[in-house]
Amino acid sequence: MTAVVHPAARADSVAGCADRPVLRERGQREVFCGLTGIVWLHRKIQDAFFLVVGSRTCAHLIQSAAGVMIFAEPRFATAVMEERDLAGLADANEELDRIVSRLVERRPDIKMLFLVGSCPSEVIKLDLSRAAARLSRRYAPDLRILNYSGSGIETTFTQGEDRCLAALVPELPAATTTPQLLVVGALADVVEDQFARLFAAMGLDDVRFLPPRQSRDLPPVGPGTRYLLAQPFLGETARALDERGAMHLPAPFPMGAEGTTKWLKAGADAFGVDPMRFRSATAAAEARARQALAAHRGSLEGRRIFFFPDSQLEIPLARMLSRELGMRLTEIGTPYLHRQHLAEELALLPEDVLLSEGQDVDRQLDRARAERPDLTVCGLGLANPLEAEGLTTKWSIELLFTPIQGYEQAGDLAALFARPFDRQTRLRV
Amino acid sequence: MQLTVWTYEGPPHVGAMRIATAMEGVHYVLHAPQGDTYADLLFTMIERRDRRPPVTYTTFEARDLGSDTAALFQQTLADAYERFRPEAMLVGASCTAELIQDDPGGLAKAAGLPVPVIALELPSYQRKENWGAAETFYQLVRTLAAPAPEEGSASADRPARQRPLCNILGPTALGFRHRDDLAEIRALLASLGVDVGVVAPLGATPADLARLGEADFNVVLYPEIAGVAAKWLKRTFGQEFTTVVPIGVGATREFIAEIRQLAGIAAGAPLADTRLPWFSRSVDSSYLTGKRVFVFGDATHAMAAARMATEEFGFTLVGLGTYSREFAREVRAVAEAHGLTALITDDYLEVEEAIAALQPELVLGTQMERHIAKRLGIGCAVISAPVHVQDYPARHSPQMGFEGANVLWDTFVHPLVMGLEEHLLGMFRDDFEFNDAARPSHLGAGERVEPVAPAAAQAAAATLEAAGWGADAEAELRKIPFFVRGKARRNTERFAAERGLSEITVETLYDAKAHFSR
């Protein structure tokens, strides 16, 4: 419950605020758990099904997060544990087998099944990895069954994707010795295609993506693999890739014109792409992105922004908003700060920003009220109450469901932050 | 384990949140892992509340589990009390905390807070949201309602009042139209000369609950929420409570009679504040006669809708069901009275199967039935939670009382093809504008149905052929308006099968029609 300010553990030579202290707090966290990641992951891997083993609360959470998607025959469901499942573990395993066989009958098109652990299943120590191995043997080779934890006691929001991708890494085929570029992190298909085209224009034709759109298209990995993280929340996945000999390419994240260029450049440099060729592949798109951003600069420049922790996207977003749109940063909250993966980002942040990791929501609300920022980025549980207090907000979950990465989306990303101000000036009631 | 995609109800602690959020001066400390705060957004987004729900979560993590989640709970409780200074507190566990068995009640007692702290036992693996709400409200009332007055004093006090006094029990946060139902019933009681003492839980403080015993009787708007508390108040204070839920004209009239009887008011002239009886008798409504309607929702709304549909709209009830297992017996009785077997389930796939098999012309249900009906191309109106944001409207739209009946008239009739339009469809079946591929005017311009893909059309023709339909009969079947075509087809096939006919001709079609319309 007490807020402790720790000096940064590492003393890198990186400039910016990489060495700055981070306010670490714990207390009530107004965040989603990792189960929420299923909502976008099941759209991305088109032949995968996500079966949460949990409680009615888990089903209710996914239902609330998925909104109308729930009505579209989605590829996820919850095996809701009942009183009798809690009595003995052997019974729970039999029940799970029964549910999976019913599911497989109903959805024979499914090629990959994730058993997703929840708080209740973990507290009763239901061993889903063993269940996944057992069921995999039964349904091989048509159906591959994996498991990961999306529980709130283990994961915050986007960390669910991290655990899911980390569970995929041991399944990836071994790469041949040819070095290959791998882009890691679920991106909207349109963004993925843009990146593939940009890399191809530099001569990197065989860039692969994790997760793939079809579970049979798992990208190979091996000592020759160089990988770029497309998302900042992939600590476990990166560790699993490192264990298979792949090498991480440090880069800022591809948001905004600058971020996208630096991210692409990190990939290009690792494969010896000629700088002239890199410029010719990216120059036009980068110019388009800068132009699109400029359109929003007028409404965002000089405005003070405050981030509540949510997705770990906060630091790259804050960097982009401050450097490319002239916004002023107050506090940037993040649920988890991976210093190594964010080193390039931290170097680009201004000196005077308060970084906070974790949350005690009431204390953080006090800070936001004292600060009275022009724009507050927060979850749906906080947004309307803060609006009612006179603070302008931007709800953060939209940043996960909207394509925001890459050059062509830079203007859309800026527009998400400009819209609340636009609305404010229009309303006369 | 139960395989679930959609749930009609949340877990019981969400029911407790609905009570805490409805009230003023109450704070709920919930022992729960990270992520359970998702429920906050039901209140701030779906119901569009301008304040955070008065709930603090302990947010324990995996690394806390081995050590000291109990200490975390105590610290959270102390901090929440200091910050919010409520008049009373609720403590409890969500589903995961129930498994780690920290006993929030015992820990709260040890904390020795200077306000009443009510420990909630909400079995998450057996019970659901409405049960949780009812139990929470009951525990609050039990703890906070002042002790029964001395023998004699109550009976001395009550008749001394000039006007009878009642409490209104049941409206909560996140209740379907609770805000407007309350306004409607308040106005109705005022026009009957009855005063309202406490409304709870919506807007009530713990101090208000202490005054519950002062009233002469209780008005129970939603038995799912307030039934248990009302029974306790009857046992404790001898307060009778209303048993009729005033949804629909007939029910509202009975409710008024019940109020008059409970309040000891002489029966007065009937209050005529509803347009429903005239609208329903006006000739344009004659096409509503016998429309086949399927009803599903919480028990209170489903039973009320079934009664209205049959007695006030002239529909035929073809299916009735509820997800409220607590009221299964009552719903079964209503269904039996219509010669039906009630569907008691919380599995939306079963509801979908039932609707598909019955082919009703109108579905009255929840948000889920709205989507089922959309998929099946059937008109639908929402009568019960769970509902989405559009069913927490800005405008006044009660379900209860006479204005509620007006609202429900419009709500049930709108999704149906209007009377005149239906006649035109029948008269000009092959007309270029009124054929059954044309979209009804109230659904906007364009095609009524998705253009059928050639493969799907072939498949449909193949199934007709397989069932023995001749080309002429098939063409004749297409001339039947779409909203009864499915029924005509099924009846004809059944008729043919019962008589061992291998081919269905135009004659068979009309023989079957004559047979079934007797």
Q: Can you tell me the distance from the alpha carbon of A351 to that of B248, in angstroms, rounded to the nearest whole number?
A: 65
Q: Can you tell me the distance from the alpha carbon of B347 to that of B4, in angstroms, rounded to the nearest whole number?
A: 8
Query: pLDDT tens for residues B169-226?
Result: 999 999 999 999 999 999 999 999 999 999 999 999 999 999 999 999 999 999 999 9
| B34 contacts A64? CB cut-off 8 A | no
Residue A275 CA, distance from chain mean position = 30
Q: Which residues make Cβ contacts (< 8 Å) with residue B105, sequence separation at least 6?
A: B91, B119, B121
| pLDDT given for residue B485 in this prediction | 79
Instruction: Convert B163-201 to b/e letters by CB count within 10 Å (16 or more is b).
Output: ebbbbbbbbbbbbbbbbbbbbbbbebbeebebebbbbbb
A to B CB pairs, distance under 8 Å: 187
Whether A114 contacts A51, CB under 8 Å: yes
- Chain B residues in contact with A50 (beta carbon < 8 A): none
Told to judge if B284 belongs to the known catalytic residues of this protein, a careful annotator would answer yes
Alpha helices (H) in A309-359, listed in sequence order:
314-325, 343-347
| B41 contacts A380? CB cut-off 8 A | yes
Summarize the confidence of residues B457-479 as an average pLDDT: 81
The residue among B3, B28, B31, B42 with the most chain A CBs within 10 A of its CB, best to mutate, is B3
The answer, for A384 touching chain B at a CB cutoff of 8 Å, is yes
With cut-offs at 50, 70 and 90, classify the pLDDT of residue B146: confident
Query: pLDDT tens for residues A336-361?
Result: 999 999 999 999 999 889 999 999 99
A104, pLDDT greater than 90: yes
Whether B324 contacts B298, CB under 8 Å: yes
A147, pLDDT greater than 70: yes
- Chain A residues in contact with B36 (beta carbon < 8 A): 33, 57, 61, 152
| pLDDT given for residue A298 in this prediction | 95
B136, pLDDT greater than 50: yes
- The token pair at B490 is 């099924």
Closest approach of B57 to chain A, Cα-based (Å): 6
* A116: three-class secondary structure by DSSP: strand
Tell me which residue in A31, A79, A383 faces B44 most closely, judged by beta carbons: A383
The answer, for A310 touching chain B at a CB cutoff of 8 Å, is no
Q: Can you tell me the distance from the alpha carbon of A128 to that of A148, in angstroms, rounded to the nearest whole number?
A: 8
| A35 contacts B35? CB cut-off 8 A | yes
Single-letter code of the amino acid located at B232: W
- The token pair at B401 is 């009382």
- The token pair at A241 is 């890739």
A221, pLDDT greater than 90: yes
Whether A27 contacts A360, CB under 8 Å: yes
Closest approach of A96 to chain B, Cα-based (Å): 7
| pLDDT given for residue B434 in this prediction | 55
| pLDDT given for residue A8 in this prediction | 34
The two beta strands, B117-119 and B195-200, are unpaired
Whether B145 contacts B210, CB under 8 Å: yes
| A380 contacts B37? CB cut-off 8 A | no
Summarize the confidence of residues B235-247 as an average pLDDT: 97
Tell me which residue in B1, B60, B388 faces A96 most closely, judged by beta carbons: B1
Instruction: Name the burial class of residue B67, with classes exposed (0-12), middle (13-18) and buried (19+) by CB atoms within 10 angstroms of its CB.
Output: exposed
Summarize the confidence of residues A92-98 as an average pLDDT: 91
| A382 contacts B36? CB cut-off 8 A | no
Q: For chain A, positions 70-109, list CB contacts with chain B under 8 A.
A: 70-71, 74, 76-83, 85-86, 92, 95-96, 98-99, 102-103
| B76 contacts A152? CB cut-off 8 A | no
Handedness of CA B175, B180, B183, B186 (dihedral sign): negative
| B48 contacts A123? CB cut-off 8 A | no
Query: pLDDT tens for residues B150-169?
Result: 544 444 455 567 899 999 99
Extended beta strands in A71-130, E state: 76-80, 112-117
Rounded to a whole number, what is the largest CA-CA distance in chain A? 67
DSSP one-letter code for B400? B
| B41 contacts A153? CB cut-off 8 A | no
The answer, for A56 touching chain B at a CB cutoff of 8 Å, is yes
| pLDDT given for residue A69 in this prediction | 73
**Which DSSP string do the residues of B426-460 spell out, in sequence order?**
HHTTT-TTTSTTBPPGGG-SSBSSPPPPHHHHHHH
- The token pair at A368 is 């936001």
- The token pair at B41 is 């957004």
Residue A307 CA, distance from chain mean position = 16
B390, pLDDT greater than 60: yes
Q: How many CB atoms within 10 Å of residue B444?
A: 7
Q: Which residues make Cβ contacts (< 8 Å) with residue B417, sequence separation at least 6?
A: B379, B425, B440, B442, B483
The residue among A25, A42, A56, A363 with the most chain B CBs within 10 A of its CB, best to mutate, is A56
| A120 contacts B96? CB cut-off 8 A | yes
- Chain A residues in contact with B62 (beta carbon < 8 A): 122, 151, 153-154
A220, pLDDT greater than 80: yes
Tell me which residue in B1, B6, B76 faces A63 most closely, judged by beta carbons: B6
Lowest mean pLDDT among A153-162, A182-191, A222-231, B98-107: B98-107
- The token pair at B106 is 């015992």
Single-letter code of the amino acid located at B237: F
Residue with structure tokens 């201004």? A350
| pLDDT given for residue A11 in this prediction | 33
Closest approach of B506 to chain A, Cα-based (Å): 38
* A43: three-class secondary structure by DSSP: helix
**Could you give phi then psi for residue B367, rounded to 5 degrees?**
-50, -40
* A75: three-class secondary structure by DSSP: coil
B445, pLDDT greater than 70: no
Single-letter code of the amino acid located at A100: V
| pLDDT given for residue B443 in this prediction | 55
The active-site residue, picked from B284, B410, B431, B472, is B284
Residue B293 CA, distance from chain mean position = 16
* 3-state SS record for B234-272: HHHHCCEECCCCCECHHHHHHHHHHHHHHHCCCCCCCCC
The answer, for A383 touching chain B at a CB cutoff of 8 Å, is yes
B270, pLDDT greater than 70: no
**Could you give phi then psi for residue B60, rounded to 5 degrees?**
-80, 155
Closest approach of B55 to chain A, Cα-based (Å): 10
- Chain A residues in contact with B61 (beta carbon < 8 A): 153-154
Query: pLDDT tens for residues B312-333?
Result: 999 999 999 999 999 999 999 9
The answer, for A57 touching chain B at a CB cutoff of 8 Å, is yes
Tell me which residue in A70, A153, A388 faces B6 most closely, judged by beta carbons: A70
Picking from A189, A271, A182, the residue whose alpha carbon sits closest to that of residue A234 is A182
The answer, for A64 touching chain B at a CB cutoff of 8 Å, is yes
The answer, for A124 touching chain B at a CB cutoff of 8 Å, is yes
Whether A21 contacts A6, CB under 8 Å: yes
| B51 contacts A385? CB cut-off 8 A | yes
- Chain A residues in contact with B95 (beta carbon < 8 A): 55-57, 119-120
Picking from B343, B316, B170, B193, the residue whose alpha carbon sits closest to that of residue B247 is B170
Closest approach of A395 to chain B, Cα-based (Å): 11
- Chain B residues in contact with A362 (beta carbon < 8 A): 56, 79, 83
Round to the nearest angstrom and report the end-to-end CA distance of chain A.
41
User: What CA–CA distances, in Å, run from B396 to A222, B32, B256, B412?
Assistant: 64, 37, 22, 17
Lowest mean pLDDT among A387-401, B227-241, B408-422, B495-509: B408-422
- The complex's ipTM works out to 0.91
Tell me which residue in B1, B49, B371 faces A79 most closely, judged by beta carbons: B1
* B363: three-class secondary structure by DSSP: strand
With cut-offs at 50, 70 and 90, classify the pLDDT of residue A67: confident
- Neighbour order of strands in the sheet with B165-169: B195-200, B165-169, B217-220, B240-241
DSSP one-letter code for B308? I
- The token pair at A5 is 């300010």
**Which DSSP string do the residues of A46-61 spell out, in sequence order?**
TTEEEEEEE-HHHHHH
Q: Can you tell me the distance from the alpha carbon of A381 to that of A31, in angstroms, rounded to the nearest whole number?
A: 9
- High-pLDDT (> 90) share of chain A, %: 86
Query: pLDDT tens for residues B21-69?
Result: 999 999 999 999 999 999 999 999 999 999 999 999 999 998 888 778 9
With cut-offs at 50, 70 and 90, classify the pLDDT of residue A9: very low
Summarize the confidence of residues B64-80 as an average pLDDT: 91
Closest approach of A77 to chain B, Cα-based (Å): 5
| pLDDT given for residue A13 in this prediction | 34
| B39 contacts A74? CB cut-off 8 A | no
* A8: three-class secondary structure by DSSP: coil
Q: Can you tell me the distance from the alpha carbon of B479 to that of B231, in angstroms, rounded to the nearest whole number?
A: 57
Q: Can you tell me the distance from the alpha carbon of B363 to that of B377, in angstroms, rounded to the nearest whole number?
A: 11
- Chain B residues in contact with A32 (beta carbon < 8 A): 35, 38
Query: pLDDT tens for residues A36-53?
Result: 999 999 999 999 999 999
| pLDDT given for residue A12 in this prediction | 36
Closest approach of A144 to chain B, Cα-based (Å): 20
Whether A257 contacts A286, CB under 8 Å: yes
